[in-house]
Amino acid sequence: MGWIDQNLVMDQAMAAIIRNRPFESSIPQSIWTVETVSQVLRSIPRFLFQSPRSIGRQNGFRHRTPLKQRNLKQELHNARKGVLILGPAAHRDVQKVQLGLEKALEFFHWVETRCGFTHNELTCREMSLVLAKGSCNSKFLWEFLRRMSRRGLLTTPTVTCLIKCLGEEGLVNEALTTFYRMKQFHCMPDVYAYNTLIFALCRVGNFKKAKFLMEQMELPGFRCPPDVFTYTILISSYCRYGTETGCRKAIRRRIWEANHLFRIMLFKGFVPDVVTYNCLINGCCKTNRIERALELLDDMVKRGVVPNRITYNSFIRYYSVTNEIDKAIEMLRRMQGMNHGVVLPCNSSYTPIIHAMCETGRVVEARDLLVEVAEQGSIPREYTYKLVRDALESSGKIDLLDEELCTRLEDGIKGRIRQVMKVKPLLQHQTVSSFGEFDTDTVSTCDEPDVTYNSWVRALKLVIAYIRMTGKSLVRNSWVRRPKKDQEHTNEEKNFNQ
């Protein structure tokens, strides 16, 4: 019964926050526990702060993807002028965010003054995370942290979690300020705090500052020397950003710096783990340094580090792109034979080989691999299945596909897309209802349901953006850049009118 009462109290508190109503003082004081208060504070961003860089997503964006550094003053200036805000703060309702921040502070003080609850480190941490996720004014955040520090509720893990949250929101300058103010809050940074800040800097591409922090950690007698994770963060970031740029000189520079850090890491006696090796191998394979990647694989085995599926997938993708399909199959069989990291390979190991076989005309072998995937209990992507089916039809060998196998694969694909549509609903926006209901049966029975679903969502996003643009009386040329053909056509019309 106590668990039910706590859930009921949490629902009442969230209803009061969302509807902007005062909190009920008739709730018994014994109901409010540390877990209940923390859960209420944790639920405020979920309901009132839309997930960054997305509309309609329930989960946030991937924590390893590159991020653009934000400027709160510039965003506030753009919001006052009605300019469209892009990046992590896009598609957020400013009024809802402000309501969430105000009600969170009100609830934090109400539960202490009216209900006799005593805050501790956990509730202080959740409240600071709400302020960070809401991108509030830095002065309010520093003032709150200063008051909590006077009460002895601010610890190093709390500040580290706050730095991590600010880094995920793209507020790297605020994360740096929080890190440098740890001594004012009577907290001493540890290795995890340094690693968190270095990772946040690497995500926005600020390698100069990240390298400076690591060099500071390497000073003789420093209380927080770097560990394996410090080097792994920098190595993985160098490889990831090096493969994303289009400049060959920059690519060579980033990969060289990653290998240089790896050698320094070995020289200082650190033992790299499988993540470090995977980052380097993936970077070398994507930059056509296959000899170096094979050397790393051999060194990996000699040091007793067991390769996993990600390790072999880097080689499989490289050999598939370069049309060395036999070597890709050899890597696949090697992974299966030595049982490195997995019991059975998944679709990500088979898909590049199947696509390469269909492009080179080895349709029968692609069909055999597709059957092998199905026999292992996996359902391939609909694009892979359709590619093999079309290749067999064009070569006149469609009879090689069993009808029972086709039915099983198509049913699996339909079931998967139905599950995706249940977990990932459509955009929660007023404009969506004007386009009618989304027909799940029609999408699940088409050839490529994932593509159809994603196309529908993209179209709705474009319509919503266009409605917002016209509602703010924005000129199209000032909002997006026109194509050259469109600009030439407009210039011709002006000349004709003149």
The predicted structure's pLDDT at residue 210: 93
Q: Is residue 223 part of a domain?
A: no
* Segments forming the whole domain that contains residue 450: 431-498
The last residue of a domain, from among 189, 214, 231? 189
The last residue of a domain, from among 189, 213, 238? 189
Q: Is residue 489 part of a domain?
A: yes
The ranges of the chain with pLDDT < 50 are 1-4, 51-63, 426-438, 440-448, 478-498
Q: Is residue 373 part of a domain?
A: no
The predicted structure's pLDDT at residue 346: 77
The predicted structure's pLDDT at residue 205: 86
Q: Is residue 493 part of a domain?
A: yes
The predicted structure's pLDDT at residue 341: 56
How far apart are alpha carbons 274 and 418 in whole angstroms? 36
Taking the model in full, what pTM does it have? Answer: 0.77
Q: Which residues contact 198 (CB under 8 A, 6 or more apart)?
A: 210, 213, 214, 230, 233, 234
The last residue of a domain, from among 189, 216, 231? 189
Q: Is residue 29 part of a domain?
A: yes
The predicted structure's pLDDT at residue 453: 56
Our count of domains for the chain comes to: 2
Q: Is residue 269 part of a domain?
A: no
Q: Is residue 363 part of a domain?
A: no
The predicted structure's pLDDT at residue 55: 39
